[in-house]
Structures are given as structure tokens and as C-alpha cells.
Structure 1
Amino acid sequence: MKLKTILFGNDWITPFLKKYRKGFVLAIFLGTITMAMAGLLMFSSGYVISKSATKPENILMIYVPVLFVRIFGIGRPVMRYVERLTSHNWILRITSLLRKKLYLRLEKSAVNLSERYKLGELLGVLNEDIGNLQDLFLRTLFPVLIAGTLAIALVIASGFFSLWLALGVALFLGFLIVVLPLISLKFTMKLDEELKAYRNDLFSHLTDDILGLQDWVLSGRKEDFLTAYRGAEVSARKRQAKLLSFGRKRNLFLQVVYTLLVIYLMAWSSGALNTGDAPNYIAAVSLMAFPLFDAFSPLSDAVVETNRYGDSVRRLNDLPDPNETLRDQVITDVDLRIEHLDFAFEEEKKLFHDFSLQVKRGEHLAILGRSGVGKSTLAGLIRGDLIPHKGNISFGGIAPSKAKNVEDKIGVINQSPYLFAASLRSNLTLANLHATDEEIWEALELVGLREMVEKLPKGLSEEVDEAGERFSGGERQRLALARILLSDVEVVILDEPTVSLDPITENQLLRLFFERLRHKTIIFITHHLLGVHQMDRVLFLEEGKIKFDGSPANLMASNATFQQLYKLDLGEEKTD
């Protein structure tokens, strides 16, 4: 990916540079002042040394230069601190916005992304790419722009003394800032791409081979495996060695060029400054160039690294781009209306076509259907996690995908509620951070877990293992219900919450769910009929449409399909 495209051909860098340009410009200005102070510190120090060597008649003759040494000596670290504080505050704020932007893009398209990207690529997006953009700002844009600003200032300042001095300084700095970095980029680009490709192949092959290592050993081909791996590793190391070798040679050449610059400044100053007090400035001018090396030497590495961020920019640009400002409305009415819905993960295979449904506040609806018919997908659409291709889904006229308070209105209990490696209290208050211990104990009482939690050594402060493995499936479901009760949502989606439990526990939990949530809207997604007699309505999905919809009593009396399903379900339960 070209350097211009990486920096400006995307919507992950340029928009933030424009929107927050004041902080960016301030950081560049402070960085330039910091480097200028470093040069002035050496300039004043060189003058003091030179003036002192001439044995001044009075100490006051060097008092002012010594004062400047102190000013610049103190000012440089202070300005460096302020510059770092400003630039890092700016970049951390930008990084926070970038992560929010990434989340909003991924949140809307999580299911589609799982189809389009490998797991490793998604992890790369989440774990590395935003960090790479942060490094792009800190390690490339800031150093390049600070060096460029400083170079312009030096050339202009040199022009006040001599046109030849300004021309010479411009030639040297132009080579250091433009020519050498572009040569480095051109030379390393191909090697870098090859090395990256080798590493990716090496990792992929090694992963596959390690997973099948037993087969390699059993077939007696362990040495073949090691030989192939070592050969690929050697090829990757050769390219890495070439890159390192070029880096060392470039740095040596850079030091030679910088030495020539210092010699040029000494030659100019010795010729131009040779009368009166002027010779004392020869050492000052020469020494002033040394700290500036810190500003210009990292530029080649900075430009080369920019090319390495190309993959991150490409992956981020390739993400679907839903409008990140959509969630700006508020749901106040939880009457659900679905009108003429069309949705599909694949164009040729629609899950829903011209689908319509209404669910009133406080209504209890069971949704039945075969596996793969789209029951869980419908739940995602209702939550706003998925966006319909056609038609409308709304709560009181507000689309859930556009509502910023959808989590406050709609809760979900699915097959495997997740518990994090944190305290039990933290796990229960995820949806209501302000819940008191009294409210937590009340919720635990309602779900039948208070006695169990009281027996834990640390009670609510007890640490939960990752994924909550210390709790049974039924206990995890009860904890999920306690979360819902604490959040006080008005619509609860039960997405086959008891599918992996034994029949006795399943019966107990369903009775508990329906009892504790009786005043809320319930959308109960299930594959069989256990508990549906407690629903107000039962809906059966087939081929993206509603096959039948009615109260359990009416369906049991008049619908042959429902009667057959009920008999089959009873048979399955007896078998259990």
C-alpha cells in the first residue's frame, strides 16, 4: 500500500487530523521548540566554552551566556515533558475514538464478519490494528512533521546570515529528510513484503503441522517436518538479515552525512566569523548541530515503518461502514412492530421474506421452528444487532439499531450466559453499575441463589473463574436472570436458555423465568413445546414466514400441526 494511501486514503486517520488539528499542531509546535532548545543549549554552551578559553577580563562577560545555558538547560526537559504530555494526551484521545469507531463497525456486522474474515484476522483487527495506527501517529507523523518544521526554521534562520549557508543547510537537510528516507522505503519495501509473507506462511504451516504432529510422528516423518520448517525459517531469517544489514549501513551513512554537515558549518563559520568576538561563535555553531541529529536520524525508520502499517489501514478500510452516528434515538414505548421484513446472510438464501409481526407490551410470545429457520437471527434483528435488508423493525416507532438505550430496554438470556473472571458482584452488576448490595441480594433471593452465594467464602466478593466453570449450567442461567432483574429491562428475549440442561432443571428454570418476568414482555425462542402453555401466543416459523400464530389453547384445539408437535414433544420427554 502506497504511503499516500496509508496516510490520507482512508477514514481512520485523515478525519481525526482535520477535526482535532489544534491539538495536533500544538504538539508539533512544542516538539519543534523542544528540539530548538536542545540546539540553543549546545550553542550557548559552545559560546561559553570558547569565550572562557580566551580569558575574559571580567566574569560578567560570560554571565549572560551562562544564564542562557541555564535557561535552555532547564527549558529543554520542561518543554519535552509538556510536548510528551500534549502529544500523548492527544493520541490517547484519538485512540479512544478509534476504538469506539471500530466497535460500532464490528457491532453492526458481527455475524457477517464471521463469514468474511478468519478468526486470526478479526483478532488482528481488535488487538493490533488500532495500536498500529497509534504508533503511526507517534512514531511517524509527529517525528516527520517536527523534523520538517525544524528544518524550515533552520533554513530561514541561516538565510539571515548567509545565502550560501542557507543553501548548504537546505541541501544537507533535504537529503536527510527526503532523499534518504525515500531510498530506505524503496529498498526495504519488497524485502519487508517478502518477510511478512514468509512469516505468515510459516505461522500457518507450523500451526497445521503442530495440530497434526501426532500423524507426523506415527508416519515416521518427524525429520521431514523439522527439515521443512527449518528451511522456511532460514528463508525468513535471510530476508530479516538483509533488512538489518541495510539498516546498519544506512545509519552509518547517515552519521557520515551528518559529520559532513558539522564540517560544513565549521568551515563556513571559520570563514565568515573571523573578526572581533565572532570567532567565539565557531564552536557554538558547530556544537549546535549535534543535538539536531536526534530530530533527523529517526526519519528513515519512521517512513519505513509507515509501510508496515499498510495492512492495518487496509483491514480497517475493508470493514463494513454503517453510519456510526445512527444510535442517537431513545426507545420509550416497547410495543414491537415488524413490517415487511427481508433479511439474508447470502443473497440467494433468504431467511425472511415479507415477514410481519406485532408484539404488545407485556405480551408473552413463544417462537417455534426447526433448527436453521432463523429464530436466533430474528432475536438479533429485534435487538438491533442485525439490520434488515428491507422493511422495518421498531419499538414505538424507533428502530432498535438507531436507539442508544436499546440495552436498557431489551435483555437477553441465551444458551450459555457468560461469566467473567471477576467478582460475583461485578458479574451481576454489568447492566446496572449502581445496584446496591441490598438489591443484589434481593435479586439472588428471587432466582433462588441467595443461600448458595452466602455459603461462598467471600460472598459477593468471591472471584468467578473464567466462563463461570465453577457453577452448574442451571446456576449460570439463574445468575443471568438475576442480571436481567437488576437491569430492569422491559423486554426479555429467552433464546433457548435451557437447551443444554436436564429435563428437571429445565422445568424448574422455565417456571422461574416466567414467574419472575411475568410483568415484562417475553419473547421465548425454543425448539420444543416445554413451557409454551404459559405463553399468551405461540408462533411457528417456516421458510421465512409464519406458519401459524395463536394462543396455546386455541392451537391445541384446532391446529393439527401444533397437536402433532405436542405429541412428538411429549414422546421425546418420555424418552428422556
Structure 2
Amino acid sequence: MKFKDILFRNDWISPFLKKYRSGFILAIFLGTATVSMAGLLMFTSGYVISKSATKPENILMIYVPVLFVRIFGIGRPVVHYVERLTSHNWILRITSLLRKKLYLRLEKTAVNLSERYQLGDLLGILNEDIGNLQDLFLRTLFPVLIAGTLSVALVIASGFFSILLALGLALFLGVLIVVLPYLSFKFTVKLDEELKRYRNQLFSHLTDDILGLQDWVLSGRKKDFMTSYLESESSARKIQAKLLAFGRRRNLVLQVVYSALVIYLVFWASGSLNTGDAPNYIAAVSLAAFPLFDAFSPLSDAIVETQRYGDSVKRLNELPDAVEEKRDVEISSVDLSIQNIQFGFEENQKIFDHFSLEVEKGEHIAILGRSGVGKSTLASLVRGDLVPQTGTIRFGGIEPHKAKNVEAKIGVINQSPYLFATSLRSNLTLAKLDATDEEIWEALELVGLRKMVESLPKGLLEPVDEAGTRFSGGERQRLALARILLSDVEMVILDEPTVSLDPITENQLLSLFFERLRDKSIIFITHHLLGVHHMDRVVFLEKGKIKFDGKPAILLESNETFKQLYQLDLGNE
């Protein structure tokens, strides 16, 4: 990805550069002023040293330069501090906006995030790519623009004294800010791409292996796991060693070139400044060049790293668009009407084809079908997390993806409700932040967990382990139900909530769910028939359409497919 594409042909960098250009320009100005003051400090110091070696005609000839030494000596750290405050305040603001933009884009694919991205790749995007964009500003744009601004100012200023000096400076600065960075980029671009690829693979493979660490241990292949990882790590280290070796050689060349620049300034000053007080400026001119090295030395590394930033920008650009639709309507009724919808994740593979369904408020309906038929996808469409390509989904005439109160009307209990690593109270009030302790205890009583929570050392303030692993699967589902009861939604989608539980616990939980949610609309997504006798209707999906739809008792008498499924379930039990 070319540098101009990184900066100007994406929606991650250029919009923020345009919107917050005043802070960016101020940071560049202050950075240039910091380096300039450092040069002026050395210039006045060199003049004072040289002048003090001779008998001054007047004390002011020494006092005034010493005063400037103090001014520049104090001014440099002050300006540098202000520059750091300005640049870091600017970049932290940009980074927060970038992270918000990233989370909004990921939120758009939250329903099927695991299908789109491997966990390792997702962690790489969250951790590395946003960090790379931050480094793009701090380690590339700021140094390059400060060095460029300073170079132009030096060449123009030196042209007032001598055309020869201006041409000489232009030649040396051209080598420092153009030739060496360009050669560095050309030499390291392939190595850097290879290192980036290795790191991405390591991120993905290590995440995958850590998640499957138990299977590595149980299969007795711990050594194979370590050997495989160390081999990949060794390959990455070899490439990194090559890059570091080249960096050391390049820095040596950089110092040689800069030393040649200092020698050139000494010779120019010796030949041009040789009358009156002018010889005292020879040391001043020579010493003034040394602080400028700090402005030019980071450029090669900055240009080399642009390839890494380009990969990050490319990956971020591939995320789905996060344009927020304006949600300015509210669902007032949970009467669901699905009319003639078509939907598919792939263009040539439709999950639903001219599919229609009606669910009245307070109705309890079971959605059955084979794995992959689209039961969970239908739940996402009903919630507005996904939008059909054609057709309509409406609650009382309102499309769920356009409603601002869809979360307050529709709740979900899925296969693996997540418990965050915070207090039990915070997990329960996820859907209702202002819930009182009395309401929470009442909800826990309804789901049969009050005694268990009361027995915990800290009660509602008891910390929950990561992902709630300290609780059993049945307890996590009961806590999810308590969340729903606290939120007081009007429709609840049960997306195979008991699929990983034993039959006895499954039966107990389903009875509890249907008892506590009897006054709400229920869409019960399941792969077998346990609990469907609690339902008003059973809808069986096949090939994107409804194969049959009716009351459980009537279907059991008249539908052969339903009878076979029922007998099969009884046999499994």
C-alpha cells in the first residue's frame, strides 16, 4: 500500500487529519520550534565559548549571548513539554475516535463475528492495528513533517548568507531525509512484510493453541505444541535479527553522513567567516548542527514502518461499513409480521427465500429444523441485528433495525450467556442499570438462585471469574433468565438455551423458563421436541421455507414428520 494511499485514500486517517488539522499543525510547529531552540542554544553556547577565549571589548559582548543561552536553555524544555502535551493530547483523542469507529464496525458483525474472523485475527486487529495507526502519527507523520519543515527553513535561511552554504545543506539534508530513508525502505520492505506475516500467524496459531490447550495436554503432545511454537518464533526472530543488523549499519552510515555535514560547516565557516568578530561564529555554526541530528535520525525507521501501517489500514478498511442508521422510531407492539423475506450471507446461497411468518403478542412459538437451516439467523433478523435483502420484518409496523428501543422490547437467552469478570450484581444489571437490590433478589428468587447467592461470601458483590466459569451451565442460564426478568422485555427469544445441559437439568430449566415467561411472547429455537408441549405453535423450517406450522397436539396426530421427530426424541431420552 503506497504512502499516499495510507494517508489520503482511506477512511481511517484522512478524515481525522482534515477534521483536527489545527491541532496537528500546532504540534508540527511546536516540534519544529523545539528542535530550532535546541540548535539556537548550541549556537549561542558556541559563540559564548569562542568569544570568552578572547578579550571582549565590552562586557555586553558576553552578557547578551549568555542571556540568550539562558533563554534558549529554559525555552527548549518548556516548548518541548508543550509540544508533547499538544501532540499526545491530539493523538490520544484520535486514537479514542479510532477505537470507537473500530468497535462500531465490529458491532455491525457481532452476531456472526466468529464466522467472519478467527479469534487471533480479531485480537490482532484490536491490539496491533489501532496501535499501528497511533504510531503512524507519532513515529512517522510528526518526525517526517518536522524534519521537512526544519530542512526547508534551514535551506532558505542559509541562502541569505551564502548560496554555496544553501546548496551544500540541501545536498546533505537530501541524503538524510530522502536517500537514506528510501534505500532503507527498499531493503527492508520484503523482510518487514515477512515478519508481519509471521507475527499474524503466531497471533492466530497461539490463540488457537491456547484455547485448545486442554486437548494438547490430554493427547500427551505438550512437547509437540512447544516445538511447533518455538520453531515459528525462531523464524520470526531470524527475520527480526536481519532487520536489526541492517538498522545498525544504516545508523552508522547516518552518523558518517552527519559527521561529514558538520565538517562541511566547519570548513565553510572557516573560509567565509574570517574577518572581525566573524571567527567567533565558527564554533557556533558547527555546534548548532548537532541537535538537528535528533530531528533527522528517526526518519529511516519512520519510512520503513509505513509498510506495516499500510497493512493495518488495509485490514481495517476491509471491515464492514459502520454508517449508523438513524433510529428515531419506537416499537409499541410486539406483534411480529415477517413478509416475503429473502436473506443469505452469500449471494448465491439463500437461507430464506420468500419466507413469511406471523407471531401475535403473547404467543409462544417453537422454531424447529435441522442444523444450518437458519433458526439462529431468523432470531438475528427478528432482533434487527441482520437485515433481509428483500421483504419486510415489522413489529406493529416498525422495522426492528430502525427502532431505538428494540433492546427494551426483545430479550435473548442463547446457548452460552456470557458473564463478565466483574461483580455478580453488575452482571445481573446489564440490561437495567438502575435495578435495586430488592428487584435483583426478587429476580434471583424467581430463578431459584437466591439461596446460592446469599451463601456467597460477598453476596451480590461477589466477583465473577472470567466467562463465569465458577458457575455451572444451568446456573449461568438461570442468571441469564434473571437478567431478562429484570429488563422486563415483552418478547424473549430462547436460542437453544439448554443444548449443552443434561436431560434432567434441561427439562427443569425449560419448565422454569416457560413458567416465568408465560406472560411474554416467546420464540423458542430448538433442535428437538423437549418442551414444545408448552408452545402454542410449532414451525418447522426446511430449505428456507416453512414445511409445517401448527399446534403441537394437532401435529402429533396428523403430521408424520412431527410424529417421527417426537418418537426419535423419546428414544434419545
Normalised by the size of structure 2, how large is the TM-score? 0.87
The one-letter code sitting in structure 2 at the alignment partner of 1:434 is D
User: Secondary structure of 1:350's partner?
Assistant: coil
Q: Which residue is equivalent to 1:278?
A: 278
| Partner-residue secondary structure (3-state), 2:350 | strand
Q: Find the counterpart in structure 2 of residue 78 from structure 1.
A: 78
Match in the other structure for 2:466: 466
The one-letter code matched in structure 2 to 1:183 is: L
1:135 is matched with 135
Structure 1 pair 54–536 and aligned structure 2 pair: CA distance change class (3 A): farther
Q: Hey, what does 1:324 align to over in structure 2?
A: 323
Q: CA deviation at 1:314?
A: 2.5
Aligned length, in residue pairs = 566
CA distance in structure 1 between the partners assigned to 2:463 and 2:129 by the alignment: 32
- 1:173–1:397 distance in 2 versus 1, CA, 3 Å: farther
Is residue 2:186 matched to residue 1:186? yes
Alignment of structure 1 residues 96-111 onto 2, 5 Å: 96-110=96-110
Specify whether residues 337 and 239 from structure 1 end up closer, same or farther in structure 2 by C-alpha distance, changes over 3 A only.
same
Alignment of 1:552-567 (within 5 A): 552=552, 555=555, 561-562=561-562, 565-566=565-566
- Matching residue of 2:257: 257
Deviation at 1:307, TM superposition (A): 1.5
2:497 is aligned with 1:491: no
SS in structure 2 of the partner of residue 309 of structure 1: helix
| Distance apart, 1:492 and its partner CA | 1.9
1:465-507 C-alpha deviation (Å, 9 max, x unpaired): 2222222222111111122233333332111112233344333
CA contact (8 A) 2:331 2:405 kept: no
**Contact 1:107/1:385 (<8 A) preserved:** no
1:373 and 2:337 correspond:
no
Structure 2 gap ranges (5+) = none
Separation (CA, whole Å) in 1 of partners of 2:434 and 2:55: 74
Cα distance in 2 between the residues matched to 1:540 and 1:379: 14
AA matched with 2:274: N
Judge conservation of contact 2:196–2:308 (CA < 8 Å) in 1: no
Give 1:565 deviation, angstroms. 4.6
- Look up the equivalent residue of 2:181 and give its one-letter code: P
**In the alignment, does 2:218 pair up with 1:248?**
no
Alignment of 1:403-482 (within 5 A): 403=403, 405-482=405-482
CA contact 2:120–2:204 (8 Å) conserved in 1: no
Instruction: State whether residues 133 and 312 of structure 2, in contact with CA within 8 Å, keep that contact through their aligned partners in structure 1.
Output: yes
Give distance in 1, aligned partners of 2:452 and 2:232: 56
- 1:41-72 Cα shifts (integer Å, max 9, x gaps): 22222233233333446554433333332332
Distance 2:199 2:322 in 1: 36
Question: How far apart, CA to CA, are the structure 1 residues paired with 2:201 and 2:120?
Answer: 13
Q: State the secondary structure of the residue aligned to 1:422.
A: coil
CA contact (8 A) 1:331 1:396 kept: no
Superposition deviation, residue 12 in structure 1: 2.0
Structure 2 residue identity aligned to 1:87: S
2:124 corresponds to? 124
Range that drifts further, 333-342 or 143-152: 333-342
Cα distance, 1:397 vs. partner?
4.5
Give the secondary-structure state (helix, strand or coil) at the position aligned to 2:133. Answer: helix
Distance in 1, matches of 2:420 and 2:39, equals 53
The verdict on how the C-alpha distance between 1:94 and 1:196 changes in structure 2, with shifts beyond 3 A counting, is closer
1:345 aligns to what SS in structure 2? coil
With over 3 angstroms needed to count, the CA separation of the structure-2 counterparts of 1:337 and 1:307, relative to structure 1, is: same
Query: 1:367 touches 1:541 (CA, 8 Å); kept in 2?
Result: yes
Give distance in 2, aligned partners of 1:245 and 1:515: 70
Q: Distance in 2 between matches of 1:231 and 1:450?
A: 52
> Quick one: which amino acid aligns to residue 32 of structure 2?
T
Instruction: Work out the CA distance in 1 between the residues paired with 2:77 and 2:126.
Output: 36
Q: Is the 8 A contact 1:365 1:538 kept in 2?
A: yes
Alpha-carbon distance in structure 2 between the residues aligned to 1:326 and 1:293: 51
Is the 1:494–1:525 Cα contact (8 Å) retained in structure 2? yes
Could you say if the C-alpha distance between residues 123 and 202 of structure 1 is closer, same or farther in structure 2, counting changes exceeding 3 Å? closer
Quick one: distance in 2 between partners of 1:200 and 1:316? 14
8 Å Cα contact 1:101-1:324 kept in structure 2: no
CA distance in structure 2 between the partners assigned to 1:284 and 1:404 by the alignment: 68
Counterpart for residue 295 of structure 1 = 295
Residue of structure 1 in register with 2:528 after alignment: 528
d(CA) in 2 for partners of 1:132 and 1:290?
30
- CA RMSD, Structure 1 to Structure 2 (Å): 3.5
**CA offset digits 1:325-365 (Å, max 9, x no partner):** 22544433344332221122344442210112233444333
Residue 336 (structure 1) aligns with: 336
Greater Cα offset, 256-265 or 531-540: 531-540
Q: Distance in 1 between the 2:327 and 2:293 partners?
A: 50
* Structure 2 residue 350 is matched with structure 1 residue 350: yes
Partners of 2:331 and 2:403 within 8 A in 1: no
Following the alignment from structure 1 to structure 2, what is the Cα–Cα distance between the partners of residues 444 and 427? 12
1:313 maps to what in 2?
313
CA distance in 2, matches of 1:11, 1:514: 48
Residue 90 in structure 1 maps to residue 90 in structure 2: yes
Report the AA paired with residue 33 of structure 1: A
Change (3 A) 1:495 1:234: closer
Is the Cα–Cα contact under 8 Å of residues 258 and 293 in structure 2 kept in the other structure?
A: yes
Which residue number corresponds to residue 68 of structure 1? 68
The alpha-carbon distance between structure 1 residues 525 and 214, as it changes in their structure 2 partners (threshold 3 A), is: closer
**How far apart are residue 546 of structure 1 and its match?**
1.9
Distance 1:215 1:381, change over 3 A: closer
Which amino acid is the alignment partner of residue 92 of structure 2? Answer: L
Distance 1:467 1:235, change over 3 A: closer
Check whether the contact 2:120–2:203 (CA below 8 A) recurs between aligned residues. no
CA offsets, 1:520-562, max 9 Å, x none?
3322212333433443433222221123334456656765655
Classify 1:145/1:361 alpha carbon distance in 2 versus 1 (closer, same or farther; 3 Å).
farther
SS of alignment partner, residue 292 of structure 2: helix
Distance change >3 Å, CA 197–CA 94, structure 1 → 2 = closer
CA contact (8 A) 2:30 2:79 kept: yes
Q: Secondary structure at the match of 1:161?
A: coil
Q: Tell me if structure 1 keeps the 8 A contact 2:124–2:200.
A: no
* Structure 1 residue 212, shift from structure 2 partner: 8.5
Q: CA deviation at 1:381?
A: 1.7
| CA distance 1:177–1:411, change in 2 (3 Å) | same
CA contact (8 A) 2:38 2:72 kept: yes
1:63 aligned partner, one-letter code: Y
Give the Å deviation of 1:304: 0.6
Give the match's secondary structure for 2:344. strand
Contact 2:539 2:550 in 1 (8 A): yes
User: CA shift at 1:229, angstroms?
Assistant: 9.7
Range with greater deviation from structure 2 (276-285 or 371-380): 276-285
Distance 1:528 1:189, change over 3 A: closer
Match of 2:15 in 1: 15
The amino acid that maps onto 1:10 is N
Alpha-carbon shift at residue 111 of structure 1 (Å):
6.4
Q: Note the C-alpha offset of 1:174.
A: 1.7
Q: For residues 150-193 of structure 1, what are the alpha-carbon distances to aligned partners after superposition, in whole Å with 9 as ceiling and x for unaligned?
A: 21222222233333322222222122111110011112223333
Segment of structure 1 superposing worse, 536-545 or 293-302:
536-545
Query: Matched residues in 2 for 1:155 and 1:195: separation?
Result: 38
Q: Give, in whole Å, the separation in 2 of the partners of 1:196 and 1:303.
A: 16
**In the alignment, residue 141 of structure 2 is paired with which amino acid?**
L
Partner Cα distance (1:511, 1:68) in 2: 85
Aligned mates of 2:402, 2:44 — CA distance in 1:
62
Change (3 A) 1:488 1:44: farther
Tell me if 1:164 matches 2:164.
yes
| Mean CA deviation greater in 353-362 or 325-334 | 325-334
CA distance in 1, matches of 2:375, 2:202: 41
3-state SS, counterpart of residue 471 of structure 1:
coil
